[in-house]
Amino acid sequence: MEEKQSFLNQKIDLESPNRNIVPITTSIGRDGKLFVGGCSIEELVKKYDSPLYILDEMTLRKSCRAYKKALEKYYPGKSLPIYASKANSSIFMSNLVSSEGFGLDAVSEGELLTALKGGVPNEKIVFHGNNKSDKEIDFAVRNNIKIIVDNDHDLKRLEEFSNSLNQDLEIMIRFTPGIECHTHEYIRTGSFDSKFGFGIEYLNNLFAIISKTKHLKLKGIHAHIGSQIFELDPHKDLGEIMVKVILDSKKYGHSINELNVGGGLGIKYTESDDPPTIDEWVKTISFSIVDACKKNKVDFPTLMCEPGRSIVSSAGITIYKIGAFKQIPGIRTYLSVDGGMSDNPRPITYQSNYSACLVSNPLNINSKNKYTIAGKHCESGDVLFKEIELADCETGDLICVFGTGAYNNSMSSNYNRIPRPATLLVNNGEAEIIQKRERPSDLLKYDILPDRFIKQN
């Protein structure tokens, strides 16, 4: 038998899971089949059905601890890593990151409620968003959650809230530092042309406005320069820019002691991806802030960062069952699976690439076939892989797609009224449900047929 070089043959990086395509507990069983977290994937599907999201607890915790360790190693002041919960929001994820000493950022009342129910202390939660509703702001204020002000509309309503309550409110402001990163157009959020944050040229005017409010207390600044970033140089520039903003704020009587550099560290989806380690990323950020503080004689602020994808993505896999085959001679062979764009919208939305293997033949022994893997939805663009090499397979075989922990579950939908998959947590040979599988009947819960239509029938 011919065993081709596979990403599953590569050495696992235990210190920086974002540099692995697979969860760190991935292994091949004696039967030659795929295991994660000490669990047989085949056995999990027999018990829990497919499609199936699976998260590896050890990979999640190793990722969190890599950030904590690096911040303690490189930054002499206080630090607080904050999980960007938009990557994968659940009561379980909130609980896990909190148990590892993380805070959490949220962008809706739903994410805020999930964080609180998961046990994240309210003083470690920050509330983002470029169009917060009055109801969301009220929820955050009444739960003593710090709000990151994104625009003038935010600022005006927060002033009104604080005055109506006759209560001081600590706030942070988000600004765009104007740093460009080579990343996808739709996820580049730190340039001058961005829907997020105040323009850097407007900050002095903003500082003057805040200084005249009765109850708003400016305690921090936030900037985020993009997602899935493989470059370190842009982060070297960020420290100097942010410390200069702190200096400018002092002229208006503000005392900023929290500095949030956002997140954005990339992960390894495919063999060609080469992201920095978590240690390298934190080191670059920390040294940038430290050097700028020393140069400008500024006390070290509390350093916050907001990793999301690099915490959860490599910990996650999605399992599909193969259904139909369609061969178009001389063109391609379509292989259809029982999921697709409703559980992973990123390929059709961002043209995102992933790595995958057969659960029964993960090392791709005797691979000789190329397939286009299509989802089951009524959409021509519902294609997970345009061309992937796999060993012989047939209807009923299982495919594992790696790197699906981030933005798959959280961006999932019920397109074509397809229920969302269950999510399992695996660890030391045990599997636990952390999110139940939806049923078709669940999708009818909020449908209402008006009485006059019922009477007509």
pLDDT digits (tens, 9 = 90+) for 339-380: 999 999 999 999 999 999 999 999 988 777 899 999 999 999
Q: Which residues share a beta bridge with 356?
A: 401
Confidence (pLDDT) at 351: 94
CB-based contact 171:149 (threshold 8 Å): yes
Confidence (pLDDT) at 457: 65
Tell if the pTM clears 0.75, that is, is over it.
yes
Give CA–CA dist 320/436, Å, rounded: 17
Mind listing the pLDDT tens digit for each residue in 47-73?
Answer: 999 999 999 999 999 999 999 999 999
Q: If pLDDT is split at 50, 70 and 90, which confidence band does 90 have? A: very high
- Options 1.10.10.10, 3.20.20.10, 3.30.1330.10, 3.40.710.10; which CATH number does 58-312 get? 3.20.20.10
430 membership: H or E segment, kind and range: strand 430-435
Q: In sequence order, which residues have a C-beta less than 8 Å from that of residue 330 and are 6 or more positions away?
A: none
Give CA–CA dist 270/162, Å, rounded: 49
Please state the domain extents for the chain: 7-56+315-443, 58-312
Confidence (pLDDT) at 225: 87
Give CA–CA dist 310/249, Å, rounded: 32
Exposed / middle / buried, residue 2 (Cβ in 10 Å: 0-12, 13-18, 19+)? exposed
Give CA–CA dist 286/280, Å, rounded: 10
Tell the residue number behind the tokens 């406005």, with chain if given.
209
Confidence (pLDDT) at 86: 97
Answer yes or no: is pLDDT of 162 > 60.
Answer: yes
CB-based contact 85:94 (threshold 8 Å): yes
Whether 7-56+315-443 and 58-312 share one fold: the answer is no
Tell the residue number behind the tokens 């050890």, with chain if given.
58
**308 residue type, one letter:** G
Q: What is the per-residue burial (b if ≥16 Cβ within 10 Å, else e) of 158-170?
A: bbebbeeeeeebe
Q: Which residues are catalytic?
A: 378
Residue % of the chain over a pLDDT of 90:
87
Mean pLDDT value of segment 135-151: 96
Fold of 7-56+315-443: Lyase, Ornithine Decarboxylase; Chain A, domain 1 (2.40.37)
Q: In sequence order, which residues have a C-beta less than 8 Å from that of residue 66 and are 6 or more positions away?
A: 15, 16, 17, 277, 278, 279
Confidence (pLDDT) at 1: 38
Confidence (pLDDT) at 364: 85
Answer yes or no: is pLDDT of 159 > 90.
Answer: yes
Tokens of 70: 């690096």
